[in-house]
């Protein structure tokens, strides 16, 4: 009897470990949900109750009236638009990740502009696994505290399940791998291939070994877009300078959050002769710092301050995307314009539209290379240079 | 193909193997000692996260990596002490307790991290100086050296000392030990806490030994791999070493493959260690060294 129990226990352990292995191999995320309060706690004095029910006759008149009402603190104002907009965002990882950090930056920049005279606050909730998305989004909606709820990753299934129960709330989700939901569920995305191309120009001009690399998470459209543009930029400038063929390789580490593996991937690329590494993930800079004459490029956030080996970064900007969401919500709330999200993703891509920009450039980049980059940047902004968006894994 | 066999790449794979194996080896050796006493600690992932965080925080505050390592050990010991309380004293189901502590460890580490390091948009994320290699020609941090030194230490302890024999006896047949007057509770406590300290150090390798960063997901499944390595190694220290090196080698090789022009699907190499673990499990079934009382709480006077 005892033997039998032992065996059963062992089988259970084995099964559990096997399960865990599968979970581990898939980059399983059994992190509990944790909520951090948004530090922006500036609460605007609300004079009218229930902003969703009062409809202002004209938006142009309503916006200045609101700010004036706030400043003079008069309470007798007649029909008037909402003065406050509370936004909640949920994230798969933590706020340090560029995908989320850039969105938070953008919300803050837009909030400073006070569109429609709105005081915008942002609640940020980190580490929400996909499977918990629906529950968390529904909980947030049920509080009634948020007018816009952004599932800032592949949360379209969660939004699709929740959005019809809360027709007054504007929902959004972002990035590749989503499905359009229409109605009050908006699918937004940015591609930063244009600044990545400019970063590639620096790499192509400065490489000594003619070997350029990228360390990335998964073969994923949002990941491949900048990688392809980076190598296109490097190859273009190397050809211009008569440097010959540039070798390019990319290492997919099969995880969004594993800096130690990203570091080893970069170490392997350096051993193979690479001296310019586009770091789509955190981690490669630690390996680059160990080597001589090898430099890195930041992705999504401006990472010049993260390490002395960073030459520049391709930076994402969600400002226009977020502003459009605010406008859609405001038009619905004040004028009753129905939410009508397109049945496709809304992509904010180009540097012209403000979907991306090149980060600060390190002093290590020679002046003539910086000039070349400035020229190419001007050409992109002027519509003379079109950077192709390629979302397949680089050749 | 030939660019995979340059000396720089091969030497790179060699050192990378040792570095990648380090956290796996440390955690698996600790778990081996812990399981030898009959306690299965499934909370390695959470314990390693706790170690990675505690080490990062203290190193960031004091500027001393050594202080960080001590903190990582204490962090791991703290979580495993709860494990020991639950499983040895309260005799809770070990699998349930381990999984619960896993969630606690991950959650606590993230909670503390966010309480201390408030982030708002793209700020400069906190970093620490990483451990230096002790010698110029030896490009591995000294925690790696410690991990490999621990292999013979654990082996000698388990198989060549009286205390090791007693510990393994507790794991196999606690009734007999109890009758002989060999204290079970104290030995299990020590073994579980030792496992926790090792897991804490293993976690700190990722934050202090290599990247200089801390993220709540930094362990990325390595705790589960360490558990698999103990099974793969059939509860023997030497084979735990082999298993860790195998995982490290295959990971290093697939990264080198991706940096080369060889068109072999790297996913194959990523899957290989897990396939090998299952194969080892199947073939070792008849001569398994699993501690016979693993996961079975011992109640005195009960048959």
A-chain CB neighbours of B297 within 8 Å are none
> Does any domain span residue A213?
yes
Tens of pLDDT along chain A (395 residues) come to 444 445 554 444 444 444 444 333 333 333 333 333 333 333 333 333 333 333 333 333 333 333 444 444 444 444 578 999 999 999 998 888 889 999 999 999 999 999 999 999 999 999 999 999 999 999 999 999 999 999 999 999 999 999 999 999 999 999 988 999 999 999 999 999 999 999 999 999 999 999 999 999 999 888 999 999 999 999 999 999 999 899 999 999 988 889 999 999 999 999 999 999 999 999 999 999 989 999 999 999 999 988 999 999 999 999 999 999 999 999 999 999 999 999 999 988 778 888 899 999 999 999 999 999 999 999 999 999 999 999 998 87
Separation in Å, CA of B277 to nearest CA in chain A: 9
> Does any domain span residue A54?
no
CB A259 within 8 A of CB B218: yes
Q: What is the CATH number of the domain that holds A182?
A: 3.40.50.2300
A-chain CB neighbours of B222 within 8 Å are 24
Task: Kindly list the strands in the beta sheet with A170-174, ordered across the sheet, starting from the edge strand earlier in the chain.
Answer: A34-36, A119-126, A84-90, A148-151, A170-174, A185-190, A346-348
Based on C-alpha coordinates, what's the Rg of chain B? 20
- Reading the block at residue B121, the tokens are 């948009």
Do residues A242 and A206 both lie within one domain?
Answer: yes
- The DSSP bridge pattern shows strands A310-316 and A148-151 to be unpaired
Say which residue the tokens 């909730």 belong to. Answer: A125
Do residues A198 and A98 both lie within one domain?
Answer: no
> Does any domain span residue A355?
yes
Closest alpha carbon within chain B to A107: B121
Separation in Å, CA of B156 to nearest CA in chain A: 26
Alpha-carbon distances, residue B196 vs A13, B42, B50, B51 (angstroms): 19, 11, 10, 9
Contact A27/B at CB under 8 A: yes
Do residues A169 and A284 both lie within one domain?
Answer: no
Do residues A226 and A237 both lie within one domain?
Answer: yes
Do residues A198 and A166 both lie within one domain?
Answer: no
> Does any domain span residue A148?
yes
Proportion of chain B above pLDDT 90, given as a percent = 62
Of the candidates A13, A14, A9, A11, the residue with the CA atom closest to the CA atom of residue B296: A9
Do residues A241 and A366 both lie within one domain?
Answer: yes
Tell me, what's the pLDDT at B3?
64
B258 and A302 within 8 Å at the Cβ level: the answer is: no
* CB neighbour class for B176 (10 Å; exposed up to 12, middle 13-18, buried from 19): exposed
Separation in Å, CA of A157 to nearest CA in chain B: 24
> What is the tally of structural domains in chain A?
2
* CB neighbour class for B120 (10 Å; exposed up to 12, middle 13-18, buried from 19): middle
Query: Poorest-confidence range of A35-44, A370-379, B73-82, B98-107?
Result: A35-44
> Does any domain span residue A125?
yes
**DSSP-based three-state secondary structure for A39:** coil
Contact A153/B at CB under 8 A: no
Q: Which helix (H) or strand (E) holds B114?
A: helix B94-116
B-chain CB neighbours of A32 within 8 Å are 103, 106-107
φ/ψ of A249, rounded to 5, equals -135, 155
φ/ψ of A278, rounded to 5, equals -85, 115
- The DSSP bridge pattern shows strands A119-126 and A34-36 to be antiparallel
Mutate to test the interface with B, among A12, A19, A21, A124 (most CBs of B within 10 A): A21
- Reading the block at residue B141, the tokens are 């941090």
B-chain CB neighbours of A5 within 8 Å are 296
A-chain CB neighbours of B233 within 8 Å are none
> Does any domain span residue A37?
no
> Does any domain span residue A289?
yes
Highest mean pLDDT among A226-240, B1-15, B173-187: A226-240
Quote the CA–CA distance of A310 and A285 in Å, as a whole number: 8
Quote the CA–CA distance of A367 and A375 in Å, as a whole number: 12
* Last-in-domain residue among A348, A367, A390: A348
CB A345 within 8 A of CB A187: yes
Range of the domain at A278: 192-316+351-381
Interface of B with A in 269-288 (CB under 8 A): 270-271, 274, 277-278, 281, 288
Say which residue the tokens 């070994």 belong to. Answer: A209
Contact A255/B at CB under 8 A: yes
Beta bridge partners, B56, equal none
φ/ψ of A56, rounded to 5, equals -80, 145
Of the candidates A394, A376, A391, the residue with the CA atom closest to the CA atom of residue A236: A376
Based on C-alpha coordinates, what's the Rg of chain A? 24
Quote the CA–CA distance of B191 and B184 in Å, as a whole number: 11
> Does any domain span residue A9?
no
Quote the CA–CA distance of A63 and A295 in Å, as a whole number: 49
Do residues A230 and A270 both lie within one domain?
Answer: yes
Tell me, what's the pLDDT at A22?
39
Do residues A156 and A203 both lie within one domain?
Answer: no
Do residues A128 and A267 both lie within one domain?
Answer: no
Calculate the CA B259 to chain-centre distance: 28
Do residues A169 and A218 both lie within one domain?
Answer: no
Concatenated DSSP letters of B116-183: HS---SSPPPP--PPPPPSBTTB-S-HHHHHHHHHHHHHHHHHHHSHHHHHHHHHHH-HHHHHHHT--
In this prediction the pTM is 0.84
Do residues A200 and A297 both lie within one domain?
Answer: yes
A-chain CB neighbours of B290 within 8 Å are 10
Closest partner CB to B118 (pick from A39, A259, A272): A39
Task: Kindly list the strands in the beta sheet with A276-279, ordered across the sheet, starting from the edge strand earlier in the chain.
Answer: A247-252, A211-216, A276-279, A295-300, A310-316, A356-358
Residue A78: CB atoms within 10 A of its CB come to 9
A-chain CB neighbours of B256 within 8 Å are 268, 271-272
Do residues A224 and A357 both lie within one domain?
Answer: yes
Closest alpha carbon within chain A to B259: A269
Q: Which residues have CB under 8 Å from A72's CB, separation 6+?
A: none
Contact B24/A at CB under 8 A: no
Quote the CA–CA distance of B293 and B171 in Å, as a whole number: 5
């Amino acid at each position: 009897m005892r033997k039998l129990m032992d065996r059963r226990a062992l089988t259970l352990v084995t099964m559990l470990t096997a399960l865990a292995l599968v979970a581990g191999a898939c980059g399983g995320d059994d992190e509990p949900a944790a909520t951090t309060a948004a530090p922006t706690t500036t609460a605007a004095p609300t004079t009218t109750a229930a902003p969703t029910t009062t409809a202002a006759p004209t938006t142009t008149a309503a916006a200045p009236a609101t700010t004036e009402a706030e400043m003079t603190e008069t309470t007798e104002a007649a029909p008037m638009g909402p003065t406050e907009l509370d936004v909640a965002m949920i994230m798969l990882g933590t706020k340090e990740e560029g995908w989320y950090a850039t969105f938070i930056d953008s919300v803050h920049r837009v909030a400073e502009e006070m569109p429609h005279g709105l005081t915008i606050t942002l609640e940020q909730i980190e580490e929400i696994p996909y499977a918990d998305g629906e529950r968390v989004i529904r909980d947030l909606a049920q509080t009634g505290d948020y007018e816009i709820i952004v599932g800032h990753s592949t949360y379209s299934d969660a939004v699709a399940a929740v959005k019809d129960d809360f027709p007054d709330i504007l929902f959004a989700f972002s990035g590749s791998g989503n499905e359009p939901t229409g109605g009050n569920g908006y699918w937004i995305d940015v591609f930063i291939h244009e600044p990545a191309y400019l970063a590639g120009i620096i790499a192509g001009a400065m490489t000594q070994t003619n070997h350029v690399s990228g360390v990335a998470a998964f073969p994923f459209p949002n990941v491949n877009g900048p990688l392809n543009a980076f190598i296109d930029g490097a190859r273009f400038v190397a050809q211009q300078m008569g440097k010959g063929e540039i070798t390019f390789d990319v290492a997919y580490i099969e995880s969004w959050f594993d800096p130690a593996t990203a570091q080893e991937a970069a170490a392997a690329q350096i051993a193979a002769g690479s001296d310019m590494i586009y770091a789509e993930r955190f981690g490669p800079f630690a390996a680059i710092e160990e080597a001589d004459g090898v430099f890195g490029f930041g992705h999504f956030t401006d990472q010049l301050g993260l390490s002395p080996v960073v030459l520049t970064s391709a930076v994402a900007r969600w400002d226009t995307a977020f502003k459009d969401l605010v406008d859609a919500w405001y038009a619905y709330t004040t004028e009753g314009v129905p939410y009508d999200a397109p049945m496709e993703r809304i992509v904010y891509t180009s540097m012209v539209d403000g979907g991306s920009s090149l980060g600060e450039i390190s002093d290590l980049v020679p002046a003539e290379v910086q000039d070349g980059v400035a020229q190419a940047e001007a050409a992109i902004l002027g519509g003379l240079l079109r950077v192709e968006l390629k979302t397949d894994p680089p050749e | 193909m030939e660019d995979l066999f340059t000396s720089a790449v091969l030497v790179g794979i060699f050192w990378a193997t040792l570095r990648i194996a380090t956290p796996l080896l440390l955690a698996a050796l600790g778990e081996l000692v812990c399981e030898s006493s009959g306690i299965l600690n499934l909370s390695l992932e959470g314990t390693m996260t706790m170690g990675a965080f505690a080490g990062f925080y203290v190193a960031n505050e004091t500027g001393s990596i050594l202080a960080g390592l001590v903190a990582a050990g204490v962090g791991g010991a703290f979580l495993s002490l709860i494990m020991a309380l639950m499983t040895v004293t309260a005799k809770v189901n070990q699998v349930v307790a381990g999984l619960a502590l896993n969630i606690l460890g991950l959650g606590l580490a993230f909670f503390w991290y966010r309480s201390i390091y408030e982030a708002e948009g793209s700020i400069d994320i906190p970093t620490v100086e990483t451990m230096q290699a002790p010698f110029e020609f030896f490009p591995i941090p000294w925690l790696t050296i410690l991990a490999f030194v621990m292999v013979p230490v654990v082996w000698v302890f388990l198989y060549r000392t009286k205390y090791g024999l007693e510990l393994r006896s507790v794991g196999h047949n606690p009734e007999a030990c109890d009758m002989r007057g060999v204290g079970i509770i104290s030995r299990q406590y020590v073994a579980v806490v030792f496992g926790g300290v090792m897991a804490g150090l293993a976690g700190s390798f990722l934050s202090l030994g290599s990247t200089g960063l801390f993220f709540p997901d930094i362990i990325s499944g390595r705790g589960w791999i360490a558990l698999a390595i103990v099974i793969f190694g059939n509860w023997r220290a030497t084979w735990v070493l082999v298993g860790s090196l195998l995982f490290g080698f295959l990971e290093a090789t697939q990264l080198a493959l991706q940096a080369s022009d060889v068109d072999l699907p790297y996913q194959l190499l990523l899957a290989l260690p897990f396939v090998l673990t299952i194969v080892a499990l199947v073939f070792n079934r008849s001569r398994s060294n699993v501690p016979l009382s693993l996961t079975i709480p011992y109640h005195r006077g009960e048959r």
